[in-house]
Structure 1
Amino acid sequence: MTSKVAVVTGANKGIGLALATQFSELGYTVIATVRAKAKIAGTPIAHSPNVKFVEMDANNYETIDSAVAEIEKIAPDGVDQVWNNLGVYNIGRGSDDRFKSLDPAELETHYKVNVVSPSYFTSKLIPLLEKGQSKKIVFISSAASSFDVTKQNAEFFTAIGVIPGYASSKSALNMIALSDLILVFPYQLKPLGFTVVPLHPGVVLTSMYVAGPAITPEESASKVRGVVEPLSSTDEFLLRNYDGSILPW
């Protein structure tokens, strides 16, 4: 396989679909994970020859194992970039007294889908990334993971009714990326040229967010690709914004 390989999770809609489409147009071999292949019918990349669809359900770790096994068959010579886009964002269902009736199952879902699954999935792909050229790992995080950003925009977050668990799960994802992929393996991954990037994709108009001003998934995908492209293993680990700015964390 001579073309570069990009793995994009959650590629049947939104930012994931936009990322997979744009990488495909750039000539990458794209491995796009979807919960069910039936969900990609009618999408712009449904019949793209350089896009390979792999089923994976973030709520089922066995499907992550089977997805990785399939990815190994598709790209035995290595993977260049992994974009962990898949996530859950339960929004608009909150109430003023939601902490009085906190749903533990919903909290568990946020952490399982937004933290545990992408971390586990990425860890299983390290051997393929070692063979790749770019060796870039991207985690679609959120500005909501920042203390400062959240406090400065308290009215916004209150107005849209974010369910408890989303922001904290994204903060945990940042920490996983820092502690497990950077600090724990500094003498293994960094010398090999790995780049790990947590990214805020902007306020994006998707099925999960329709509450106010937002950019399109296509614009978000284009901008975050532009942020990641020039980065290398020598760049500092920071929470980056889709417009290239640095977010406090």
Structure 2
Amino acid sequence: MYVMVLIHFNLFFNFFFFNIIIEYKLDILDVALICGFYICSVLAGSLTLTDIILAYKQSCEKHHVEPNPKALEQLKQITCVTDRARCFDLSGEWLDYCSCESLEEILKSVQFDFISLQGAELEQNGASSLLDMFLYYESATHLDVSSNSGMGFSGWLSLSHLLRQSGCLWRLDACNMPMVDYAAQALSKALLTSRLTVLHLENTCLSGKPLFTLGMPSTHHPLEVHAI
């Protein structure tokens, strides 16, 4: 409503003035996101592993899903919640939207070197939600989303946002799923500003337009691509 009022009001002024106002509003939103992340980081630093496990179980109850045994077992092996844990492996686990949402209580408290979602049967809503969390909490330096052919447009869009904006992600594995046009376009645009240094796209049936699209970007740093 507020943006619509601004648009109507600024019809009486020039387009340049309108742009300044909209850009200022976006800056305010960016500040809010940064402040929110900082507050979450401070709170996470005061939590114990027991607190995190309890919060995850309560989140599962709220979203009407069972706690993932594989996730719980890995949480119990973490020795320090203030440092990045080595790995969060959910490969082969079926993660629907509610299961993805429940994982936020873990992600807001613990960061990882490597997160694997290989073969997690992600659909686009769950994938989009989870990837947005990875961006917000800077959850992983190495991410594997291979064998998730149901990510859809929303999932690939969120993945492209993650690649563009993450300050810590250096490697992405997205193998064993067809690279359709919209996925290649989203990935290509993201690589222009991404900090990614290693990209694995093996067995993605890259050919024709998607292959040409991915061949276009010129990153500001060396990018090692594997796409056999």
Is TM more than 0.5 here?
no
What is the TM-score when the length of structure 2 is the normalising length? 0.35
**Radius of gyration: which is bigger?**
2
Question: Which is bigger in relative contact order (C-alpha 8 A, separation at least 6)?
Answer: 1
TM-score (norm 1): 0.33
Higher helix share: 2
